[in-house]
């Protein structure tokens, strides 16, 4: 049984080592906006690959964007994944939006699995975006302005996601060090409470709420 403490925990508490809550709505809202913008840009390119629109706007490289989207690399990817690659990218960015909007402002403690899932969704996106940028220059020989924009947005997303994922990692590491049992660590990861996990979270937020 947990020990009764005098003050209830603040859900929107600031965990160490930050000066703001990385699970707070302000931080997560900005991540959702950036991921949403990347999702719309990818969807716009996907609509062209589906031939639902006739062309793609590119103020820098002109027709090169269409050459990239119609390239053999893109066709090969479509054969593998059964969808235009830009559409799959749009779905992945939408995943970022959904995963960042779900959960309370204390989800780094109460739903670590969700924070880690968000991190796992963000990191492959930046790797794939980076690879596609390299392929554009090295294999296709053309450049796609909107692809470069989404790659840059992916980098920003990774930077922003790091804070919350790191907080979650510190919390889970604290639980592991306090209990040294895999079962408690797994239960904490799955969002099940324990006095030990709560004590670790309280220490992380002490004097910051």
Partner 1 sequence: MWPRVLEFVLACWLAISPFVFRSGAEVSWLWTNDLVCAFAVAAAALLSLHHRLHRTHLANLAVALWLIGLAFARTSPPPAAYQNDLVVGLLLILFTIIPSRAAHPPRAWQRFFEQAHGGGR
Name the residues that contact partner 1, by CB under 8 A: 1-11, 78-80, 82-83, 87-88, 91, 94-95, 98-99, 101-104, 106-107, 109-111, 114, 117, 191-193, 195, 198
- Residue 114: which of 129, 103, 125 has the closest Cα? 103
Nearer to partner 1, 24 or 148 (CB): 24
Residue 154 beta carbon to partner 1: minimum distance, rounded to whole angstroms:
18
CB-based contact 170:145 (threshold 8 Å): no
Would you call 83 helix, strand, or coil by DSSP? coil
Compute the distance between CA of residue 7 and CA of residue 130 in angstroms, rounded to an integer. 48
Residue 27 beta carbon to partner 1: minimum distance, rounded to whole angstroms:
16
Compute the distance between CA of residue 191 and CA of residue 115 in angstroms, rounded to an integer. 11
Nearer to partner 1, 60 or 76 (CB): 76
What sign has the CA pseudo-torsion 17, 25, 106, 154? negative
Residue 61 beta carbon to partner 1: minimum distance, rounded to whole angstroms:
26
Nearer to partner 1, 32 or 114 (CB): 114
Going by the DSSP 8-state scheme, the letter that residue 180 receives in this structure is -
Nearer to partner 1, 109 or 154 (CB): 109
Residue 31 beta carbon to partner 1: minimum distance, rounded to whole angstroms:
16
Output the six-digit token pair for 82.
Answer: 């059964």
Nearer to partner 1, 25 or 57 (CB): 25
């Amino acid at each position: 049984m947990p020990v009764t403490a005098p003050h209830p925990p603040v859900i929107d508490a600031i965990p160490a080592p930050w000066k703001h809550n990385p699970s707070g709505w302000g931080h997560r809202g900005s991540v959702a906006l950036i991921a949403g913008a990347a999702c719309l840009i990818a969807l716009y390119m996907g609509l062209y690959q589906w031939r639902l629109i006739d062309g793609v706007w590119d103020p820098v490289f002109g027709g090169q964007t269409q050459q990239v989207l119609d390239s053999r690399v893109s066709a090969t990817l479509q054969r593998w994944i059964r969808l235009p690659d830009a559409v799959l990218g749009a779905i992945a960015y939408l995943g970022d939006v959904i995963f960042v909007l779900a959960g309370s402002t204390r989800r780094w403690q109460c739903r670590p699995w969700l924070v880690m899932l968000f991190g796992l969704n963000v990191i492959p996106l930046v790797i794939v975006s980076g690879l596609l940028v390299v392929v554009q220059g090295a294999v296709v020989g053309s450049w796609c302005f909107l692809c470069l924009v989404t790659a840059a947005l992916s980098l920003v997303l990774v930077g922003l996601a790091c804070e919350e994922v790191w907080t979650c990692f510190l919390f889970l590491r604290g639980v592991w060090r306090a209990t040294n049992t895999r079962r408690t660590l797994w239960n904490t990861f799955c969002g099940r409470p324990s006095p030990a996990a709560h004590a670790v979270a309280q220490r992380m937020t002490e004097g910051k709420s």
